[in-house]
Amino acid sequence: MLWTKHHFDALDSTQDEARAYPPYSVVVAERQTRGRGRMGRTWESPAGNLYLTAVVPDFGDRTPQLAFVAAVALAEALADFPVRLKWPNDVLLDGRKIAGILLERAEGKVLVGVGVNVVSAPDLAIYATGHLQGRIFCDILLDRFLKELREAMGAFQEKGFEPIRRKWLAGAFHLGQDIIVKMPQGTAAGVFAGIDADGALMLKQADTIKRITVGDVALMKDMK
Ligand code: BTN
């Protein structure tokens, strides 16, 4: 196994603890008291779900694409369930979020934070969907994810982003649909036309394509 695991009962956030560890370390907590999500949000972290941070090397200007590498790996790890991917790096089950990924940089390394709602969640937990049926639990899911992450990172290193981009698109939710993207600087509407070679969202508006790097996606029909 490539990874060295460090387990804790409770941490403020696995992201903060992971700063002290070298690449290929994994910090796992049973629960977090200050779990955080993207865009400054709180990540509810009661016991029973999976909370981990995998420390990986910095990939320079390709580092943001690691979020898609991790999302593809997480979808593979959850392949027993009919999961889909939501831009930029959420995992959905039955159209609702069951897992999120947070990428942070720390002195020459990258902290890939993953939270999976196995038994409880503000939105949806795998357990609540009836898909769980005792087939999967946190330790198995952790090992599956680490194996898939290692493979996806190997493909990314050898072949670049394109194979990851294709896999991500194959599992993408919202593709070809009317969406609204809430960005820090405002809202944009259009058709979700895919992701580009950097992982940016491509939003088709009339005959132009708008490129979006930060934001939250919602289906237009759900906004009405
Ligand atoms: C998101 O969808 O907003 C990303 C959520 C990431 C949550 C995980 S849980 C493990 C790691 N530690 C944290 O504090 N956050 C990430």
Q: Domains along the chain?
A: 4-170 (3.30.930.10), 178-223 (2.30.30.100)
What's the pTM value of the predicted model, to 2 decimals? 0.92
The ligand 1 atom nearest the CA atom of 36: 14
Q: 36 forms bridges with which residues in the sheet? A: 42
Tell me the CA–centroid distance for residue 116 and ligand 1, in Å. 9
| Cβ of 32 less than 6 Å from ligand 1 | yes
From the list 194, 198, 50, 65, the residue with the least C-alpha distance to 126 is: 50
From the alpha carbon of 12, which atom of ligand 1 is closest? 14
Count CB atoms within 10 A of the CB of residue 148.
20
Q: For residues 196 and 167, what is the distance between their CA atoms, to the nearest angstrom?
A: 13
Q: Position 161: which residue type?
A: F
Which ligand 1 atom sits closest to the C-alpha of 43? 7
User: Does residue 42's CB lie within 6 angstroms of at least one atom of ligand 1?
Assistant: no
pLDDT per position as a tens digit, 172-200 = 998 999 999 999 999 999 999 999 999 99
CB of 53 sitting under 6 A from ligand 1? yes
Instruction: Report the C-alpha gap between 157 and 169 in whole angstroms.
Output: 19
Residue 88 CA, chain-centre distance (Å), reads 8
What contacts 222, CB < 8 A, 6 or more positions away?
Answer: none
Q: What are the 10-residue block averages of pLDDT along the chain, 224 residues in total?
A: 93 98 96 94 91 96 95 95 93 90 95 92 67 66 96 96 96 94 94 95 95 92 74
| Kind and range of the H or E run holding 162 | helix 162-170
Tokens encoding 208:
């132009």
> 68-101 b/e with 16+ CB inside 10 Å = b?
bbbbbbbbbbbeebebbbbbbbbbbbeeeebbbb
Residue 124 confidence (pLDDT)? 65
What is the C-alpha separation between 216 and 139, in angstroms, rounded?
Answer: 30
d(CA 47, CA 28): 12
Cβ(115) – ligand 1 distance below 6 Å: yes
Cα first-last separation, the chain: 49
Regarding the beta carbon of 117 and ligand 1, being less than 6 Å apart is answered no
CA of 28 to the centre of ligand 1 (A): 12
3-state helix, strand, coil in the chain (%, to 5): 30, 40, 35
